[in-house]
Structure 1
Amino acid sequence: MYLIPIAWLYVAILVAVSEDTVVAGVLTFVFWGIAPLALFMWIFGTPARRRRQREREREALDRNDRAETGPDQ
């Protein structure tokens, strides 16, 4: 999954370097490189975040069940 973000940043860096001024290059990199990449990673990371949250909730529930029953039961 990291191949797409790496390639996107590579292209964004090349485009930013080809700008006329440093300010234009930085703004190009931020608005055409970092911002879309952050959105992409957030959207495509949502299923993994949900999966981790469900797993944490399940572990917390298991801990509570074990605490309520006690070790000798």
Structure 2
Amino acid sequence: MYLIPIAWLYVVVLVAAAEDSIVAAVLTFVFWGLAPLALFLWLFGTPARRRRRLQQEREALERNDRAETDADQ
């Protein structure tokens, strides 16, 4: 999953290095590199975050179920 972001950052760094001024290089890196990359990683990381949250909820429910059965015995 991280191959595309790494390649994209490589290309953006090369483009930013070719800019005439430091300000243009920084703005190129931020608006062509960091902002789109953050959006990409957030969008493509959503299913993994959802699975992790559901797994944590299931584990918490199992812990609560086990705790209740121990109290009855």
Greater helix fraction, Structure 1 or Structure 2: 2
Q: If the length of structure 1 is used for normalisation, what is the TM-score?
A: 0.95
* Residue deviations 1:18-72 (CA, integer Å, cap 9, x gap): 1100010001000000000000000000000000000000000000000000078
- One-letter amino acid of the structure 1 residue matched with residue 49 of structure 2: R
**Runs (5+) with no aligned partner, structure 1:** none
Q: Matches of 2:12 and 2:72 in 1, distance apart?
A: 61
Matches within 5 A, 1:1-73: 1-70=1-70, 73=73
Task: Give % identity.
Answer: 77
Moved more, 63-72 or 20-29: 63-72
Q: If the length of structure 2 is used for normalisation, what is the TM-score?
A: 0.95
**Runs (5+) with no aligned partner, structure 2:** none
How many residue pairs get aligned? The number is 73
Moved over 3 A (4+): none
- One-letter amino acid of the structure 1 residue matched with residue 39 of structure 2: L
